[in-house]
Amino acid sequence: MNSFERFCFNLLGKRMKAKREDYAALRNDLISARFKTPFEVYLSTAYISAILVGLSGAVVLGVISWVLEIPNMIKYKGEVPEFLVGLSAHTLLIGTVIITIFSLLVFGGLTYLVFILYPGLEAGNRRRNIDASLPYAINYITSMSTAGITPAEVFRLLGSSSIYGQSAVEARYISREIDIFGRDLIDSLRLVSSSTPSRRMKEFLQGTIASVASGGNITEYFRTKAEQYALENRQTQKLFLETLALVSESYVTAMVAGTLFLIILQSIMSVLAGDNRPMFLYAVIYVMIPLGSIMFVIMISSMTPET
pLDDT at 173 over 60: yes
Which one, of 54, 157, 159, 47, lies nearest residue 106 by Cα? Answer: 54
Q: What is the mean pLDDT of the chain?
A: 84
Task: Give me the mean pLDDT over the 33-51 stretch.
Answer: 90
Exposure b/e, 182-202, CB count within 10 A at least 16 = b: ebebeebbebbbebbbbebbb
151-155, 191-195, 202-206, 234-238: the lowest-pLDDT one: 234-238
CA–CA gap between residue 119 and residue 177 (Å, rounded): 23
pLDDT at 179 over 70: yes
Task: Give me the mean pLDDT over the 245-266 stretch.
Answer: 86
Instruction: Give the percent of the chain with pLDDT over 70.
Output: 91
State the pLDDT confidence band at 90, using cuts at 50, 70 and 90. Answer: low
Q: State residue 305's pLDDT score.
A: 63
CB 177 within 8 A of CB 171: no
* Helix residue ranges, H only, 18-164: 24-32, 39-68, 82-86, 91-146, 151-160
CB 129 within 8 A of CB 306: yes
CA distances from 124 to 112, 129, 252, 295 (A): 19, 9, 30, 20
Q: State residue 175's pLDDT score.
A: 92
Q: State residue 189's pLDDT score.
A: 92
Q: State residue 76's pLDDT score.
A: 55
Q: Is 43 exposed, middle or buried (0-12, 13-18, 19+ CB in 10 A)?
A: buried
Q: State residue 231's pLDDT score.
A: 86
* Helix residue ranges, H only, 147-285: 151-160, 165-179, 185-195, 199-214, 218-251, 259-273, 279-283
Task: Give me the mean pLDDT over the 287-291 stretch.
Answer: 87
**pLDDT tens digits for 145-156?**
888 888 889 999
Q: State residue 254's pLDDT score.
A: 84
Task: Give me the mean pLDDT over the 272-280 stretch.
Answer: 76
11-25, 62-76, 113-127, 258-272: the lowest-pLDDT one: 62-76
Instruction: Give the percent of the chain with pLDDT over 90.
Output: 21
For residue 293, what is the enclosing H or E element?
helix 289-303
- How much is the pTM? 0.74
- CA 155-178-184 angle, to 5 degrees, is 100
